[in-house]
Amino acid sequence: FELPLLLIGTPFQKSIWNELLKIPYGKTETYMGLSQKLNNTKAIRAVAAANGANAISIIVPCHRIIGSNGELVGYAGGVDVKQKLLRLENSDNYAEQLKLF
């Protein structure tokens, strides 16, 4: 669906949030992957901070960001909620992670 959004934040935060909006339903991305898309691999912590500053997380899907090792990390609603959202979306990467257990 399409929804007009007024994202309020720094230019860097907005660039991260716009990248989050490009992640398809059922897919995930890593913090490193996002920093690479911005051509700044040293910005991983800044990417994570911008991800955490997202005020409309269910619309701007920050729950689709996982650690480079596939670990579920950092979500304002808690990792358990992040896990449920990814399971609901049937994320390919998350499904692969479940095979490890």
Residues near 17 by Cβ (< 8 Å), separated by ≥ 6? 7, 9, 50, 54, 60
Catalytic hit among 23, 62, 65, 66: 62
Element (H, E) at 50: helix 44-52
86 is catalytic: no
Question: Cβ neighbours of residue 61 under 8 Å, at least 6 residues apart?
Answer: 20, 21, 23, 25
Could you write out the DSSP letters of every residue in 79-90?
A: HHHHHHHHHHHT
| Strand, coil or helix: 4 | coil
**Residues annotated as catalytic (active site), given as ranges:** 62
